[in-house]
A and B are shown apart, each in its own frame.
Chain A
């Protein structure tokens, strides 16, 4: 990841304001006397963050990781299967995914230095932060299955994308693909 700070000169507007409140209470019909106290009051924009001052933009360019272990990439190897799907509102790992989880468990045990990330996902229904937590619960469910098969906690990180990768405006079956855990190996 490269972090690039771009600077837009057009946006550099240092707030220099002197603002004076005059005669707020009711006064006779004659115009209020307007006082100018600016020489003492001019100040530079130390608090311009709360004003409509300039904002410095930060642009993040993510770079793809390099290729990893070929067994993990081989489409004929079960290790290339990386998605565990869940029922609606459920974090139960279904029996049909046991062969995939067993294969990854075997790989992790054979490669003691290998690390994996389990990324939980939800469909878009519900609020983003709550879905982040629901996705996490699914990632933890897969981690627990891997733990039972002998994979150490130190090799696994569970994270969640919540609904961030979900299909927009999903309906019926298209929501089913959103409720899943993605298995990501280090170097993928």
Chain B
């Protein structure tokens, strides 16, 4: 951790401490180790209604969840509201001069009301200077949806204030190893609500979200060899996608979800194939005597990028998704693997071996310019947030597997610690909730 490299804004730091209480129950605790150069000052006034804007049957506090999301992004400076004489819960109650005196650019107010067994959540985002509404939302939800709703509100604020699509109402998948037990888990993007998708005494690797977020493909060694499974998150039903002789690994969904690229070996080296998402319709895409692995579809679905040592050292190549002749993509550095596309298709994240240290690199595909983003020595598995602004990856902290995240401009860093004491690895960031 290189705190001094970044301008850690004091108030952001205190804000983070203030929210430690709120995140103490998370299995993955998130620590911010850097901040954006320009942070938008915003007041998130506690929601009115049920105690602290929470509700019966839930400890979740909407305004705290929103504030934690915005703080974590590094793009906002959430202002302290405790001690303020007036805490408005509707736009009409806002005394704007009190908030502009704190440099607030925006103020959010809201309330939560119990209506039958449901909750009615109202929220307004107000421009503090123009005194106009930037967004207003009304939700009718079940009590268990408080967190998701708070993340959706945080996404609206993020989108209105930064002009970028949000990322908070999404989930991440990752593998834990605790003792001898492996588990594929899914948690909210803020580390809350971890749930086990599948657990086994044999390794599980390479989780991949279906584009609609309803399924995960992964590789399990439960039969003493790598086999690719697809599992529905809601029903738990799992299907063998590929169990051919040799290895079956590295699943990657096509953008339309109709097929997956996988890696098979039979009796020889790893080669890339496509298979329909229901299994079958197997098609060989690469034909080489080298290693061809880690396929990923370009966001338009037309190309498959992959890593290969066909030129001697591993580099990233691309091939038409229907097959054809591959061409080389990376030229700088002697070892570039694990390509991942940004959602807009404009850049490629991958792992570079930089003099024995494995780091996350980001390449602008138009200019070819490469930036090294991560600071560890054994960083792996880069995965873009659904809005492309953050890259989640696996790292090692004190010899243990942990997750870390870096903004795509390299300015904001987060570390996700597993409070259960196990190893965490192989992160995959899922799509935004609908």
A positions within 8 Å CB-CB of B:
1, 5, 7, 11, 13, 15-24, 26-32, 34-36, 38, 42, 45, 47-62, 117, 119, 124-130, 132-134, 136-137, 140, 143, 153, 156-162, 164, 168-169, 184
B positions within 8 Å CB-CB of A:
90-92, 120, 122, 124, 127, 130-142, 144-145, 147-149, 152, 156, 160, 171, 186, 188, 193, 195-203, 205-206, 212-215, 220-226, 231-236, 238, 245-247, 249-250, 263, 265, 267-270, 291, 293-294, 307, 314, 335, 337-338, 351, 353, 358, 378, 380-381, 396, 399, 425-426, 430-434
Chain B contacts for A23, CB-based, 8 A: 133, 135-136
Chain A contacts for B148, CB-based, 8 A: 51-52
Contact of A133 among B156, B269, B353, B378 (CB under 8 A): B269
Contacts known (A56-B236, A57-B198); A29 close to B226, Cβ less than 8 A: no
Complex-state Cα separation, A177 to B201, whole angstroms: 22
Chain B contacts for A48, CB-based, 8 A: 234
Contact of B337 among A7, A130, A140, A162 (CB under 8 A): A130
Chain B contacts for A119, CB-based, 8 A: 224-225
Q: Are B203 and A164 in contact (CB under 8 A)?
A: yes
Contact of B293 among A15, A133, A184 (CB under 8 A): A133
A–B pairs, 15, beta carbons within 8 Å? A11-B195, A22-B136, A26-B134, A45-B234, A52-B188, A52-B193, A55-B233, A55-B236, A58-B199, A59-B198, A136-B246, A143-B267, A157-B225, A160-B247, A169-B399
Q: Are B140 and A55 in contact (CB under 8 A)?
A: no
Chain B contacts for A56, CB-based, 8 A: 232-236
Q: Main SS of the interface on chain A?
A: mixed
Q: Are B206 and A128 in contact (CB under 8 A)?
A: yes
Complex-state Cα separation, A12 to B3, whole angstroms: 41
Q: Are A158 and B267 in contact (CB under 8 A)?
A: yes
Complex-state Cα separation, A160 to B142, whole angstroms: 47
Q: Are A55 and B137 in contact (CB under 8 A)?
A: no
Q: Are B247 and A132 in contact (CB under 8 A)?
A: yes
Contact of B214 among A28, A49, A128 (CB under 8 A): A49
**CB closest chain-B residue, reference A19:** B139
**CB closest chain-A residue, reference B211:** A50
Chain A contacts for B201, CB-based, 8 A: 60-62
Complex-state Cα separation, A156 to B235, whole angstroms: 37
Chain B contacts for A127, CB-based, 8 A: 294, 337-338, 351, 358, 380-381
Chain A contacts for B378, CB-based, 8 A: 124-125
Nearest chain B CB to A108's CB is how many angstroms away?
15
Q: Are A13 and B234 in contact (CB under 8 A)?
A: no
Q: Are B234 and A60 in contact (CB under 8 A)?
A: no
Nearest chain B CB to A27's CB is how many angstroms away?
5
Chain B contacts for A140, CB-based, 8 A: 265, 267-269
Q: Are A160 and B132 in contact (CB under 8 A)?
A: no
